[in-house]
Structure 1
Amino acid sequence: MKALTWHGKGDMRCETVPDPKIEDDRDVVIKVTACAICGSDLHLYGGYMPTMKSGDIVGHETMGEVVEVGRGASRLKVGDRVVVPFTICCGECRQCRWGNWSCCERTNPNGRMQAEQFGYPLAGLFGYSHITGGFAGGQAEYLRVPHADVGPLVVPPGLSDEQVLFLSDIFPTAYMAAENCDLKGGETVAIWGCGPVGVLAVKCALMLGAERVIAIDSVPERLALARQAGAETIDFGDENIQDRLMEMTAGQGPDAVIEAVGMESHGADTLAQKVSSAVMSATVSMERPFAFNQAVIACRPGGVVSMPGVYAGPVGPVMMGVLMNKGLTLKTGQTHMLRYMKPLLERIERGEIDPSFIISHRSTSLEDGPELYKLFQEKKDNCTKVVIRPHG
């Protein structure tokens, strides 16, 4: 089969690789009908994730048709159309029973390696390095889905792939980010990053009762998409974020903030952040939490900082004193996908939201993948989200 494979920083290739096979009774194999390039995939493309190996198949936003079923995966049958969550969950360990699906204790075969860094093993992830299990990803013609009796969501007829594909990751991620803001109704929420998660978080925050959402970015087409989703916007290339937020909120500040950027944020507004930047420039192994620090400074005292943005390793100077002295609540984590997939599918069915509005680029060939990665990473040609149909 054809698949997109990682061969180093900035080096994605479309190659012929062995077809996946049933390896465990709880497996299924799907024919991939649609997959997407996620902002998190750009961290792989940029060489930021450790434990990647040359030839690894990437991709974790995937859906398709079941073509082979293991004996223990009795919930699914050949022909079922399914969306596959990016996390792999056993459904049996204490974390799964508690509903902390992304913290599954059993599905990462390299859990011991992960525990050396995190203290504990966490759920295996599709196509996202060997520290998360080394599982083949879904930017491919076919995908093996372990523990398929737990995770995949069967899609009802009448909905297009594009309407439901993002239930695999970014729609639940955006919803959990907004839910973590503890909205009661009438709040102002500020969101850093108008990539796909940030823009969907605009929609989700409004669905959950926020009165205003202010989205922050510097890419014109992303800011335009955020406005389309219902947000007011700030271009941090033209304006001082804190000054503008105070002006827009009559000095009150946002009640909650969402940091949807993560490890590749850049820029500095305040003197403290400029000092932090200078320190971090001498510590190249540190990730640079510019967006996180801006969000912590901007959030009103007693507010909530929600952080779905991905970080892989140690982070440089963080405004911990600001976080503590302002009495802020920090909520973060990989998305507990199985909490959200079915309820959000029902919202799509009711016509409350169609996540496909974020798609800018479509392809019917994995051969286009390497160039589309480059386009998405460089934010060219108004590229906001890429969807590929591997079988045309």
Structure 2
Amino acid sequence: MRALTWHGKHDVRVETVPDPQIVNPRDAIIKVTSTAICGSDLHLYDGVIPTMRPGDILGHEFMGEVVDVGRGNTRLKRGDRVVVPFVIACGNCFFCRRQQFAACDNSNPAYKADISQMLYGHHMCGFFGYSHLTGGYAGGQAEYVRVPFSDVGPIVIDDGMEDDRVLFLSDILPTGWMAAENCEIEEGDTVAVWGCGPVGLFAIQSALIMGAAQVIAIDHYPHRLELARKLGAKTVNYRNTRVYEALMEMTGGIGPDAVIDAVGLESHGFAPDNLYDYAKQSLRLETDRSHVLREALYACRKGGRVSVPGVYGGFVDKFPVGAFMQKGLTMRTGQTHVQKYLSGLLEMIRDNRINTTFLISHRMPLEKGPDAYRKFAFEQNETTKVVLKPGMEARNG
């Protein structure tokens, strides 16, 4: 089969690789019909996530048709159309029984020697296509993919629903929803969202559905800010506005009731603290750039809530723990418990309460995957979301 593979910083290739096979009784093999490039994939593309190996198959946002199932899987059958969560979860461990699927104890086969236990105190669960920190599973930017524990993760989709409407159930829609849910939004709340990429935009949409009176979106790409305004958010362009002062003015000097960092470890900008982070990161004295998280903590009102769906991988410097403690803030974060949200969000899509297709800017064949990565990484104003289609004819130009 053909698949997108990682070979180093800014080096992804379409290669012919072995077809996946059933390994365990609860496996399924999916013929991929749509797969997307996620902002988290750019962390791999930029070479900032450790334990990637040349030839690893990328991709954790995908859906398709079941073409084979293991003998232990009684939930799926050949021909089912399914969306697959990026989180691989067994469904039976201590955490899965509490619907904390992204903390599954059984889905990372490499955990006993895993660097993640040294980094975080506990090993990570398994994810598709996201380094050997998360099990080394082949991803879904391919023609076919093996799905472990497929009687727990995938959700069956009605034949009448187009891929584009439901594909983002795999990651970014439930991630944006959980980010807003972690804000514990109350009537009259103001929510500030840093980053108008796909997760940030879905967090904006989710916060408004949950009853936020005002959502303020912070970014610098004009098109992304325009998408945020179309969703109903007010916007701040950090390139020409002092974010803290703008937020104080927009909230009567109190600050937002809740803040969302939808950017994560590769924040951009020319603020002094971010330039400091760039320098330390280049010297390998720091792993993550956390300017956005610092700014969000300073801006959030006293007693407010901080939600962090943006991915962080290691260590940050100059964390304002004094502001965090003195202001009595509450922070909630973590990888998304996708399986917990699937049925409810699918119903909202069916009822047209959630729009999922507005952020798709490009639909490209899998064979054009390297070009798609370059666009998503370096043309972010024009490229809000790329959906790759295995089997789509690749045209030159």
Same fold (TM over 0.5): yes
User: Which residue is 1:8 aligned to?
Assistant: 8
1:342 aligns with 2:343: yes
Aligned to 1:55: 55
Deviations 1:29-69 (A, max 9, x none): 01000000000000000001000000000000000000001
| 1:316 paired residue number | 317
Residue 353 of structure 1 deviates from its aligned partner by: 1.1
Q: Pick the aligned partner of 2:215 from 206, 213, 232.
A: 213
Deviating more after overlay: 220-229 vs 132-141: 220-229
Aligned residues: 390
* Aligned 8 A contact 2:268 2:274 in 1: no
Q: Which residue of 2 aligns with 1:328?
A: 329
Pairwise CA distance, 1:320: 1.2
Residue matched to 1:78: 78
Hey, what does 2:395 align to over in structure 1? none
Which residue of the other structure, out of 234, 241, 244, is the alignment partner of 1:242?
244
- Structure 2: give runs of 5+ residues left out of the alignment: 393-397
Q: How far has the Cα of 1:285 moved from its partner?
A: 3.4
CA displacement, residues 55-100 of structure 1 (integer Å, 9 cap, x when unaligned): 0000000000000010011100000000000000001101000111
- 1:286 Cα offset (Å): 2.8
Give, in whole Å, the separation in 2 of the partners of 1:386 and 1:276: 29
Once the 2 structures are TM-superposed, how far is the Cα of residue 225 of structure 1 from its aligned partner?
1.1
**Contact 1:286–1:316, Cα closer than 8 Å, also in 2:** no
The separation in 2 between residues aligned to 1:288 and 1:119, in whole angstroms, is 21
| Letter of the 1:352 counterpart | R
1:351-388 per-position Cα deviation (integer Å, ceiling 9, x unaligned): 1012111100111x211110110110012571000001
Partner residue in 2 for 1:171? 173
> What is the CA-CA distance between 1:284 and the residue it aligns to?
4.0
In 2, the alpha carbon distance for the partners of 1:194 and 1:380 equals 10
Closer/same/farther in 2, CA of residues 19 and 296 from structure 1, 3 Å limit:
same
- Residues 162/227 of structure 1: CA separation in 2 closer, same or farther (3 Å cut): same
User: How far apart in 2 are the matches of 1:278 and 1:16?
Assistant: 39
Per the alignment, residue 124 of structure 1 pairs with 126
Q: Secondary structure at the match of 1:352?
A: coil
Contact 1:280 1:317 in 2 (8 A): no
Deviation at 1:117, TM superposition (A): 2.2
Q: Which residue number corresponds to residue 30 of structure 1? A: 30
Contact 1:276–1:317 under 8 Å retained in 2: no
What is the DSSP-based 3-state SS (H/G/I as helix, E as strand, rest coil) of the residue aligned with 1:356? coil
Q: Is the 8 A contact 2:303 2:330 kept in 1?
A: yes
Runs of 4+ aligned residues of structure 1 deviating over 2 Å after TM superposition are 266-269, 271-286
SS in 2 for 1:265: coil
Distance 2:179 2:80 in 1: 30
Amino acid at match of 2:228: A
Equivalent AA in structure 1 for residue 328 of structure 2: G
Residue 260 of structure 2 is matched in structure 1 by 258
Letter of the structure 2 residue corresponding to residue 390 of structure 1: P
Shift of 1:118: 1.9
TM-score normalised by L of structure 2:
0.95
What is residue 140 of structure 1 aligned with on the other side?
142
1:150 alignment partner, SS class: coil
Give, in angstroms, the shift of residue 279 of structure 1: 6.5
Q: Distance in 2 between matches of 1:245 and 1:4?
A: 42
Q: Which residue of 2 aligns with 1:186?
A: 188
CA change 1:21–1:212 in 2 (3 A) is same
What whole-Å deviation, never above 9, does each CA across 1:130-173 have from its counterpart, x for those lacking one? 01000000000001000001100001232110000000000000
| Secondary structure of the corresponding residue to residue 132 of structure 2 | coil
TM-score by length of 1: 0.96
Relative to structure 1, the CA distance from residue 249 to residue 56 in structure 2 (aligned partners, 3 Å threshold; closer, same or farther) is: same
Contact 1:280–1:316 (CA<8 Å) still a contact in 2?
A: no
CA contact (8 A) 2:96 2:104 kept: yes
Take 2:32 and 2:151, find their aligned partners in 1: how far apart are those partners? 18
- Give 1:352's aligned residue: 353
In structure 2, the CA distance between the partners of 1:44 and 1:276, relative to structure 1 (3 Å rule), is closer
**Contact persistence 1:273–1:293 (CA under 8 A):** no
Q: Which amino acid aligns with 1:37?
A: I
Partner of 1:375: 375
1:88 has 2:75 as partner? no
